[in-house]
Structure 1
Amino acid sequence: MGALVTVNVRRSSRAARGARRTVWAAGLALTLTAVAACGGGGAGSDGDKKVKIGLLASLSGTYKAVGTDMRAGFELYLDTHGNKLGGREVELSVGDEGDGPPTAVPAATKLIKKDRVDVLTGIVGGGSFNAVLPLTKRNKIPLVGSNGRPEVKDVSNVWHTSYLSDEPGEAIAKHVEKKVDGPVYAIGPDYQGGHDELRGFTEAFKKAGGKLANPDGKTRWTPFPKTTNFTPYFSDIKKSGAKAVYCFYAGKAAIDFVKQYAQSDAADLPLYSAGFLTEGSTLPAQGKAAKDIYSSLNYAADLDNEANRKFVADWTAEHDSSPTTYAMSSYDAAAVLDKAIAEAGKGGKEVTSESINKAIGGLGQIESPRGTWEFGDRTHAPVQKWYLRQVKPDGKKLANVMVEDLATLGD
């Protein structure tokens, strides 16, 4: 009977979200007119207005699983906070980023120009981020990213709740240098995100005294997104004399890489990675091939803190899986906006894109499922802990189990 009730609750919640998204998509959000119950503005005050949020994420293509989790994380925060941020009703518009700028830019343009959002959040790919950023600057809209982000010179309207793309590799580099007795082979996809991720590892690894096994001392790049057969690369790894491998892959490429690695000549070499290799739906798809992979990430579902216990409980009440860093970072983006909008609207003040942006800069420390973090002054990205995780059995399933703290990174 308990299981039946849980299923019904899930269906009801999903149905409610579906109904709400239908209303948003139809553009039926109206300005509320109500008299404040106590204090603040009167009828027709700014406190009655909805806040329009645009969420851009990959809901199709290579990183569909990542974008879907990001969307679900943001919606979970809204579901558990009465569909309000800062005490104001929210109108959420969602755009499909797809596989990069060709689809991301039109989707972002619609959110900004047609839906007239006050804030833009989400974005999976670094290429998409760089392509969309000028749109937000021209329209003076804060961009609260919630996945990996490249370095940005002008961060005046840019905030990030996840990480800079070179940080996962940087965080684990010293650990790998200490644990591996010999050279390490570095490999990743040939696009901006891959370049950022591998640069973070290789630069920090060399600085720590490590040596790459790659013949030219440079990362081996695999064509993206067309590479599905990694077998020739594994043969090269084995011939290189490497004692371990470090990689960055995510989505379908991560599934292909791990399953083929386990069947290759290089399978006896320890595999280290940015945490996305085994994150979310990729892990069950990889199965036993993923066992014992070590990874670096800013989140693990088994972290023991009050905020994470609540987050995991709320997530698992609606999903048949553990929450991911993608969901967590997007959940935190909603939490940041919740606090910022409340601050911007104090005393019945008008809430605008500019006032929200200013309020984010004054938030200070944020309690999060990952642990306490805050925005760095220089990068507007998190100053946060990074964790070493290992794929181990957790009951009947494999899971990314937290092993130890690696480093605190950020400015």
Structure 2
Amino acid sequence: MAGRFRPVGLVAASTALLLTTACGGASLGAGEDQQSGPVKIGLLVPQSGTYKALGDDMKQGFELYVAQHGGKLGGREVEIVVADEGETADSGKAAAEKLVKQDRVLAVSGVVSSATINGVKDLFETGKVPLVGSNASPTTLTGTEYIWRTSYVNDEPGKALGKHVAERAGGPVFLIAAGYQAGKDEVEGFKSTFLPAGGTIAGEEVYTPFPGTKNFQPYLAQIEKSGAKAVFCFYAGGAAVDFVKQYRDFGLAGKIPLYAPGFLTEGGVLKGQGDAANGILTALNYSADLDNPANKQFAPAYTAAHGTAPTTYAMASWDAAQVLDKAIKAAGSTVTSASVNAAIARVGDIDSPRGTWRFNSGGTPVQPWYLREVKQGANTVSSELGRLGG
């Protein structure tokens, strides 16, 4: 990796330069041999709507890696073209089509929504343009050749927690989640490791209407009456803030341990939850306090640039830039979308802020997972839960 941190001002200046050059159109098209000059990379992330905060994290993580490497990937100057994914599959698909067909980018990164990535699958597969996604990865996305993800499959955070909770709950566990695909993926993932480890469920799992549920009191009363010794839940965004605050106000915090995929307390929602989040236990593939050389390069630089600790969304996007850096370099003198995609399949181990990982045959990471606990308003690593994705 390139040597030392750049001062905040230099990082910001480098990023600004990269984004302004994106208007120039000097790069050749995706299918053409880009032997010299800048390469053009698309960032497909929300810049408006419900998921803008996640999109900002992803954009900032990707841009930080490029800035730390002198504005280059694989030794080549980079033009970054940002397209607004928005908050629907239709808006995401339109933005992706612009990047591939009009801007003719070499490769694309980003994508928050599972609906978007399912909607653009055929565009990238038939267009033979690599998408190195850094968030969305539904369990239904299989059999792809040009789509890679540096994040995780949706059910893996739940899988990572199941055995641990079964061994420590001391009785039945109540399962509750937002009633959409990601919530169902997480619950099924949790059960897949929880039940074989001897865990028992308190009644039937509950799926709360999404996105309309604001009042969780009836469900909290159900938890209280169930005899559960612990709760596993899946919520993100505003629902995560509402659920955690109401869990505390109802008197369940400190009485019935609350476990969840890391999204429950990740990023801006943790600030919104305040003291109500203390003691919550989550599983995620990253925590800003991890002690490894790559994270010591990444986390302080990100915090200095943006005034906040990096999230898993920012980290996975930093890694996506690293994957493209390695692949473009490995492609050598013939840099095309096809040659870069072939090189991605051979990148091997990635020295990441999360710990070392590599792509499996399905294009997702074989990686470590961590148990985190919220202490004094911050996620802190308690232990490693093992590796998933193999």
Same fold (TM over 0.5): yes
The Cα shift of 1:354 comes to: 0.6
Map 1:315-334 onto structure 2 (within 5 A).
315-334=302-321
Q: Distance in 2 between matches of 1:250 and 1:306?
A: 30
Structure 1 alignment gaps of length 5 or more: 1-8, 33-44
The Cα shift of 1:102 comes to: 2.6
Q: Is 1:392 the equivalent of 2:375?
A: yes
The amino acid across from 2:340 in the alignment is: I
User: Which residue pairs with 1:201 in the alignment?
Assistant: 190
Q: Distance in 2 between matches of 1:46 and 1:103?
A: 29
User: Which residue pairs with 1:40 in the alignment?
Assistant: none
The Cα shift of 1:306 comes to: 0.8
Task: Provide the secondary structure at the position in 2 that maps to 1:323.
Answer: coil
CA spacing shift, 1:231–1:61, aligned 2, 3 Å: farther
The amino acid across from 1:158 in the alignment is: I
CA deviations over 1:245-274 (Å, ceiling 9, x no partner): 111112222112111211114332110000
- CA-atom RMSD in angstroms: 2.0
CA spacing shift, 1:373–1:31, aligned 2, 3 Å: closer
Q: Is 1:231 the equivalent of 2:229?
A: no
User: Which residue pairs with 2:45 in the alignment?
Assistant: 57
The Cα shift of 1:59 comes to: 2.6
The amino acid across from 2:345 in the alignment is: G
The amino acid across from 1:402 in the alignment is: V
Report if the CA contact (8 A) 1:339-1:363 is conserved: yes
The range that moved more, 197-206 or 320-329, is: 197-206
CA deviations over 1:204-249 (Å, ceiling 9, x no partner): 2122221111x3x3x3112222222222221222222221111111
User: Which residue pairs with 2:159 in the alignment?
Assistant: 170
User: Which residue pairs with 1:3 in the alignment?
Assistant: none
Q: Distance in 1 between matches of 2:363 and 2:47?
A: 26
Q: Is 1:402 the equivalent of 2:381?
A: yes
Of 15, 18, 28, the match for 1:17: 15
Report if the CA contact (8 A) 2:27-2:34 is conserved: no
Report if the CA contact (8 A) 2:34-2:336 is conserved: no
User: Which residue pairs with 2:4 in the alignment?
Assistant: none
The range that moved more, 355-364 or 47-56, is: 47-56
The amino acid across from 1:30 in the alignment is: A
Map 1:115-264 onto structure 2 (within 5 A).
115-151=103-139, 152-213=141-202, 215=203, 217=204, 219-264=205-250
Identity %: 51
Q: Distance in 1 between matches of 2:164 and 2:344?
A: 34
The Cα shift of 1:31 comes to: 4.8
Report if the CA contact (8 A) 2:15-2:64 is conserved: no
User: Which residue pairs with 1:381 in the alignment?
Assistant: 364
Structure 2 alignment gaps of length 5 or more: 1-6
TM-score under structure 1 length normalisation: 0.88
Q: Which of structures 1 and 2 has the bigger CA Rg?
A: 1
TM-score under structure 2 length normalisation: 0.92
Q: Distance in 2 between matches of 1:187 and 1:99?
A: 24
